Structures are given as structure tokens and as C-alpha cells.
């Protein structure tokens, strides 16, 4: 079973000074896991924030994701070395294939082998995938084995609970990382979540994150506001009861927010 932190800070859509401040604030508040990606265009700024934080590298858990242009075996490792230079580190803790991009001409056998080689070289401690459906996860497993795949990072929120894929990943012993857990903020206005939040004297974001954590998922919410970063962290202390969990389970509506043409697989 993989060993990935259950709570981290995401950096999607944050660039420049905004991402430096967000990561710096998160580390200051006690976050130790930071999630970025080559396509976010912010690895250098994340690296600057990590380096300036004074937190020992061994206490940090840094994740990046390989972009589709770098999947070919002659490109993947050089691109990861480039990411490491930007991040100012000799290794990342986790490297993911960002999107399966089924039409881009590079097969899972090629990029998963290259990713396994990057791990063998010590450039990354763990490897995994992101946005993979069951069939593509099976193809990845066929190349490196299920024990080598630390996580599948997928869009997962109360509105998109991805039960079929989650059940498969659980069966394989592959951890689930939920991104967009708050569905771009849409769930924060949900009356059911609001009611549960009032009952626990918590925020809707805390309730939603606690729900995901209680289901055993890792979460990586982002925020540009220090008070929200601090507040999100408190979700780890919130315990929802069975009734709360059942009410949130009933919010499923296949509410997918992200499915880019050419990058996304056929969803389960």
C-alpha cells in the first residue's frame, strides 16, 4: 500500500507571487504535502517557496505530474530532471502521469516504463497516475504492477463520487487522491452540506473535506487565503456521523467539472 499523506495543498491555477504566498502560508500553518504539475507553470515558484520555508526536505512530500508532451521514453526523464531543477530538489516524493491522453501516440507501456525507470534512478520515490479510468489503470498495472502505483488522482466530490472506479482502486490497493473535492466551490452552497456544517459548527469546506478523508481519500485543496488554508486543515479533526455520511452520499449527480477533449479517457 502506498504511503502518501492524506492532506496536502494544491497549486492548480496559482502562479507567480500568488502561488509563492499560498505555499509559504500552507507550510507555515503545518501543511507538509504540496501538489504541483509541469503544466501548471509554477514549479519554480513552488520550489522557491519550499526552499525559503526552512522546512527540512525530509519533512516535505512533493508531488508533480508529467505533461502529455513528455510521455515518450526519451522525454519523460529529462522533463522530470527539469522539474527537479525548478523545484530545487534532488527528488520528488511522487510523480504522476497527468492525463492518459489516449490519442497522443504514446502507449501506457512506454510512459509507465519510463516512469518506473525514473523511480529506479531515484528521481522520484513513488509513481502513480491521474485521471485514469479502470481500463487504463489496468494497463498501467500490467506494466509496473499494482504495488508500484501509489495513487490515482481523480476528480472526486460529493457531486461526482466515482464509486465504480474507487471500488476498483480499493480492490487493487491503490490509494485514491481526490482533487476538486469542493467542485469549484459549488458544494459550498449545497443546502445539505450547509445543514451538516451548522450541526457541527464547521464550515461547508471542512464538512466536504472531512467526508473525503473519512472515506479514506487523500485531499489537496488549494486556497490563496491564509484563513481558508488554516480552516481547511481543521477538517482532519471533524468527525461526521453515519447520518451525515449517508446524506452526502445521496448528493451524487455525476457532476464532472473537468474532462478535456483529447486528454480524458472514457469515464467509468
The per-residue DSSP string of 150-198 comes to EEEEEE-BTTB--HHHHHHHHHHTPEEEEESTTGGGGGGG-HHHHHHHH
pLDDT of residue 3: 86
Predicted confidence band of residue 2 (pLDDT cuts 50, 70, 90): low
Helical ranges in the chain per DSSP H: 16-29, 43-52, 73-87, 108-120, 134-144, 163-172, 191-200, 204-214, 226-233, 242-249
**What tens digit of pLDDT does each residue of 101-145 get?**
998 999 999 999 999 999 999 999 999 999 999 999 999 999 999
Cβ-contact 126, 155 below 8 angstroms: no
**Domains recognised in the chain with CATH numbers:** 9-188+216-223 (3.20.20.100)
Give the residue from 266, 257, 254, 255 showing the smallest Cα distance to 101: 266
Q: What is the signed CA dihedral for 99, 7, 184, 66, rounded to 10 degrees?
A: -20
Cβ-contact 64, 43 below 8 angstroms: yes
Instruction: For the beta carbon of residue 251, count every other beta carbon within 10 angstroms.
Output: 19
Q: Which residues pair with 33 in a beta bridge?
A: 61
Q: Which residues pair with 94 in a beta bridge?
A: 63, 126
From the annotation, which residues make up the binding site?
98
Alpha carbons within 13 A on the beta-carbon side of 252 = 8
Could you list the active site residues?
40
From the annotation, which residues make up the binding site for substrate?
98
**What tens digit of pLDDT does each residue of 205-218 get?**
999 999 999 999 99
Cβ-contact 31, 9 below 8 angstroms: yes
Instruction: For the beta carbon of residue 72, count every other beta carbon within 10 angstroms.
Output: 14
**What tens digit of pLDDT does each residue of 43-92 get?**
999 999 999 999 999 999 999 999 999 999 999 999 999 999 999 999 99
3-class DSSP assignment, residue 35: strand
Instruction: For the beta carbon of residue 3, count every other beta carbon within 10 angstroms.
Output: 11
The most distant pair of C-alpha atoms in the chain lies apart, rounded to whole Å, by 55
Predicted confidence band of residue 28 (pLDDT cuts 50, 70, 90): very high
Amino acid at each position: 500500500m502506498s504511503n502518501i499523506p492524506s492532506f496536502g495543498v494544491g497549486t492548480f491555477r496559482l502562479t507567480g507571487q500568488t502561488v509563492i504566498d499560498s505555499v509559504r502560508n500552507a507550510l507555515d500553518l503545518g501543511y507538509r504535502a504540496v501538489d504541483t504539475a509541469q503544466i501548471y507553470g509554477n514549479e519554480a515558484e513552488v520550489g522557491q517557496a519550499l526552499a525559503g520555508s526552512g522546512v527540512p526536505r525530509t519533512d516535505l512530500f512533493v508531488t508533480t505530474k508529467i505533461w502529455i508532451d513528455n510521455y515518450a521514453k526519451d522525454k519523460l526523464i529529462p522533463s522530470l530532471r527539469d522539474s527537479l531543477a525548478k523545484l530545487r530538489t534532488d527528488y520528488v516524493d511522487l510523480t504522476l502521469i497527468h492525463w492518459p491522453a489516449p490519442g497522443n501516440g504514446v502507449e501506457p507501456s512506454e510512459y509507465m516504463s519510463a516512469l518506473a525507470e525514473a523511480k529506479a534512478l531515484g528521481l522520484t520515490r513513488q509513481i502513480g497516475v491521474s485521471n485514469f479510468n479502470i481500463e487504463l489503470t489496468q494497463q498501467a498495472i500490467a506494466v509496473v504492477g499494482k504495488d508500484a502505483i501509489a495513487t490515482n488522482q481523480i476528480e472526486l466530490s460529493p457531486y461526482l463520487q466515482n464509486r465504480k472506479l474507487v471500488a476498483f482502486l480499493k480492490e487493487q490497493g491503490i490509494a485514491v487522491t481526490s482533487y476538486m473535492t469542493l467542485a469549484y466551490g459549488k458544494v459550498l452552497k449545497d443546502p445539505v452540506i450547509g445543514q451538516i456544517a451548522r450541526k457541527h459548527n464547521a464550515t461547508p469546506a471542512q464538512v466536504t473535506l472531512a467526508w473525503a478523508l473519512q472515506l479514506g481519500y487523500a485531499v489537496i485543496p488549494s486556497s490563496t487565503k491564509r484563513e481558508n488554508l488554516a480552516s481547511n486543515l481543521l477538517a482532519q479533526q471533524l468527525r461526521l456521523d453515519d447520518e451525515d455520511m449517508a446524506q452526502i452520499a445521496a448528493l451524487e449527480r455525476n457532476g464532472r467539472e473537468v474532462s478535456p477533449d483529447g486528454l480524458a479517457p472514457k469515464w467509468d
